Amino acid sequence: MSQHPDVVFEAGAAYPALVSLKSALARHDWPGARAVLDAATPGSRTSLIDLAADEAPRDFLENVFRDDPADGAAGALLGAHLTSVGWNIRGSGRARNVSREQFAAFHEWLRRAEQVLIETTARCPGDPAGWSRRLTTSLGLQTGEAEFRRRYDRVAEADPHHWPAQTSMIQRLCPKWGGSWEKVHRFAHEASAAAPLGSLSGSLVAKAHIEHWFSLVVDDEAAAIAYLRTPAVRDSIYDAARRSVGAPQFRPELGWVRAANEFAFLFSELGDRGATAWLFGGLGTLATRLPWQWVRGDAVETIRARREWAR
Amino acid sequence: MIQRFDVDGVPALFTPVDGQLHAGLAFRAGLADESLARLGMTHLVEHLALSFHGVADNHSYSAAGDEITQFHIGGSETDVVAFLNGVCAALSDLPLHRLAVERDILTVEQHGRQPSIDEPLAGHRHGARGYGLRGYPEMGLASITPDGVRAWAARFFNRANAVLWIAGRGVPAGLRLALPDGQRQPVPVASSALPVRPAYVTGPDGVLAWNAVVRRRAAAGVFAGVLQRAMFRSLRGQAGISYVAGATHDDRGDGTTVVTATADALPEKQSAVVGGFVDVLATLRYVGADPAEVAAVVQQRCEGLAGAGRAGRLLPGQAADLLTGHPVRTAEEAGADLRTVSAADVREVAAEAWADGLLMAPGGANAGWTGLAAVPTRSPFAVTGTGYPALGDDEIRIVVGRPGVSLISGDEECVTVAFDECAAVLARPDGGRTLIGNDGLTVTIEPTLFENGPAAVARVDAHVHPGLRIDLPARDPDSIPQPPETEECCDDDCCDSDCCDGDCCSDDDCAGECCEQCCDDDCCGSDCRDGDCCSDDGCPGPCCTGGRVGRALRRLRRR
């Protein structure tokens, strides 16, 4: 149970399918796990795989994959699990704080993951989950931007508006990975414009602005807020909300809690109490740590304070 | 149809063909028989054998391959008889007065020659010997003596080591293959310089090359055809990352087939060419080829074989088979074999090929993620013996001992050439020496750059077999490297960093690392141990970890 019942970060609270998937995996019930995954939309399926992978029992996943290497869900889950083991060793800090031994182990796990994913994407080229997982290994193993783009193109071929892959692409295009803000915003805008109304892809513009804001706020809080309040940025945030969480066609897919928290954060930064309150109302107690933990102070306290402010 | 008989004791293959007469003389002689220190020997014999020929209006052709040297002509009976009789006469009594001239011609030819993309793979796979020699320039030409070339010709260009082939209406009258007696030469044994396969090396920018040695069978050639189509579709059609992408196969006399794939890449797409290619091979080995595609390749090959068989164009290959102890097979027999090849057979070849593969990744691309092992650029051990520290850099030293010579950097990294595994030594009159090991690794000693450098050179000279020495002309005195006067940061002249155009960010001295745009580790997820990122295109590029010996070598070469 959550330590703070009014701010619930556990993904399972928002996504019952994740709870079912995790429990099926924990009891080594592959048909049960597949039933959950098969019922999900392609984007939710990839997100479920991402979220369940870390705790999934490795031996079990290896056996399932060995028994049926043509099972794309098994390959993606095993690949995601091995990636997650590697990333846990590396930690999420900056490279300078990661030891040589940590890096060596990180890369070793990612190479293991990549071998599984090479096989699974060869056997199931039309499954976006395997290709999406290869975006993460592409980042960690530094395959280069063109190779990342090739992998993304294979995801998009399989599922044109695959939100989990699109969020990875935004990461990849950020200056911290050798990209540029121009590339980030162009991709977010194009992906958002191409997506059907009410889809999570419509929220990518907001995600791009948050990444940009975060890069500024580290050094200069005033510059960061000024960036968000630029008329063009402000307008595009409202437009993105109308295209996604605010559209009548919006259906909560896995990832919606993150998107709604991002908008709540942005509207509160913009000083729009009404829009912020509307989002917190829709969320109830559900919350995500990001982007709140990027604001100085404790994420729980920040959420409480902004809810209170918007009320 | 093939008829077999002897002409003057030389086995002959004959295919009746209407139209122009073609004939050729093939010898079991090639680059793979040579040694690095005398590399160019077979090519030189080939040129000497044709020096009588002059300019003619018929179409003659000669080539020294890895295993087979061919002399081939198309023309009238008179032309063919004159050519082949002339070749045989020249081979039995080489016009050695032309040795110096032909050597010069070969040197010029070499300068003008465009190496094929995949050539470096040979040296990386086999080292500086045997089948690896194709990756090296003909550096032995200047050291070849009249006696040496005569002995080579006697050993390889003799009656027992030759096959004649003729495509025409009949055997031309007056053919006299006056070759000396001798012995059939065995097929060279392939050496390996790869401790682990599959493996990768980094090659020049803009191109990817890959090869694999698989068991020779009909399915190997079909695999190459299927690979060619898959690469074209995936790298060019689907992803638009390559313009020229293709695969070929070559049978070897030792019962293997070398499958070779090459692809070009735009500079900004290099990493995607690596990924696309790895995935093409993954699909072929995990899923296999579409049976319809296999059938299409087989059909195409069979049609090609049938046409080539009728025209007598299979004869050079059939002559090579005969010379290397393989059955001579007709187009129909080869076609029948091809028609038995299934998608499962091709998949089996794909798995075998992947396991043996050597990838040369484009310069700007990282291939470490592919699961392939990096080809070693260091030696596993250093020799013990007398040390000669580099002037101005006590981290680097040359050690000369009884077993060989090592260039050592710090405590960990070294390149060693053992004297009994030395393929050649390039010697400058000023004392500069480059030892090339059979494994392809090299150690360069510039006596001006090491304490007691001339003594180190003298010790090396005393240990190296004189037959391995290749004397090079004197250098321009300005190009003889000189020790650094002061170490100043950091314009590449004094800096041993890898970063070609980065800034040096060390505060204290030149040995500091470079900061490429990205690489202060703040943004970089890379494993730059000391922050030296050598990618051209930003942060996620591969870093040069370690690499002191590599840098030391580059520094020595630059000077």
β-pair partners for B251: B257
Interatomic CA distance for residues A160 and A162, integer angstroms: 6
Closest partner residue to A111 (CB to CB) among B369, B522, B526 is B369
Phi, psi of A90 (to 5 degrees): -65, -40
Alpha carbon of A224: minimum distance to chain B alpha carbons (Å): 19
Taking contacts as CB-CB distances below 8 angstroms, the residues of chain A near B520 are 96
Q: Which helix (H) or strand (E) holds B412?
A: none
Interatomic CA distance for residues A130 and A113, integer angstroms: 11
Q: What is the DSSP string of A141-201?
A: TT--HHHHHHHHHHHHHH-TT-HHHHHHHHHHHSGGGT--HHHHHHHHHHHHHHSPTTSGG
Q: Is the peptide bond before B376 cis (omega within 30 degrees of 0)?
A: no
Taking contacts as CB-CB distances below 8 angstroms, the residues of chain A near B272 are 144, 146-147, 149-150
Interatomic CA distance for residues B516 and B539, integer angstroms: 8
Taking contacts as CB-CB distances below 8 angstroms, the residues of chain B near A95 are 521-522, 524-528
Closest partner residue to B371 (CB to CB) among A115, A153, A176 is A115
Q: At what angle do helices A231-243 and A204-217 cross, to 10 degrees?
A: 140
Cα angle value B166/B172/B177 (rounded, 5°): 75
Q: At A156, is the pLDDT very low, low, confident or very high (cuts 50, 70, 90)?
A: very high
* CA nearest to B268 within chain A: A146
Residue-level pLDDT at B497: 44
What is the arrangement of strands in the sheet containing B21-27, beginning at the earlier edge strand?
A: B3-7, B10-16, B162-168, B21-27, B69-75, B59-64
Closest partner residue to B282 (CB to CB) among A119, A138, A147 is A119
Q: Among candidates B320, B324, B339, B310, which has minimal Cα distance to B2?
A: B310
Span A160-175, mean pLDDT? 95
Q: Among candidates B300, B303, B283, B261, which has minimal Cα distance to B343?
A: B283
Closest partner residue to B279 (CB to CB) among A121, A153, A175 is A121
For residue A246, pLDDT beyond 80: yes
Q: Which helix (H) or strand (E) holds B478?
A: none
What are the distances in angstroms from CA B135 to CA A21, B120, B236, B308? 55, 5, 28, 30
Interatomic CA distance for residues B149 and B154, integer angstroms: 9
ipTM score here? 0.93
A27-75 per-position pLDDT tens digit = 999 999 999 999 999 999 999 999 999 999 999 999 999 999 999 999 9
Alpha carbon of B256: minimum distance to chain A alpha carbons (Å): 27
* CA nearest to B523 within chain A: A176
For residue B361, pLDDT beyond 50: yes
Taking contacts as CB-CB distances below 8 angstroms, the residues of chain B near A100 are 527, 529
For residue B520, pLDDT beyond 80: no
Q: Among candidates B359, B381, B80, which has minimal Cα distance to B211?
A: B359
User: Looking up tokens 């520094």, which residue turns up?
Assistant: B555
CA atoms within 13 A on the CB side of B508: 2
Residue-level pLDDT at B527: 38
Under a CB-based contact definition with an 8 Å cutoff, are residues A163 and A48 in contact?
no
B477-502 per-position pLDDT tens digit = 988 988 876 544 444 444 444 444 33
Span B345-372, mean pLDDT? 95
- Using an 8 Å CB-CB cutoff, list residues of chain B that contact chain A: 239, 241, 268-272, 274-276, 278-279, 282-283, 285-287, 364-366, 368-371, 518, 520-529, 537-542
- Among B200, B271, B515, most A C-beta atoms within 10 A, so best to mutate, is B271
Interatomic CA distance for residues B349 and B329, integer angstroms: 22
- Using an 8 Å CB-CB cutoff, list residues of chain A that contact chain B: 69, 94-96, 100, 103-104, 107, 110-111, 114-115, 118-119, 121-123, 125, 137-147, 149-151, 153, 175-179
Interatomic CA distance for residues B557 and B559, integer angstroms: 5
Residue-level pLDDT at B55: 55
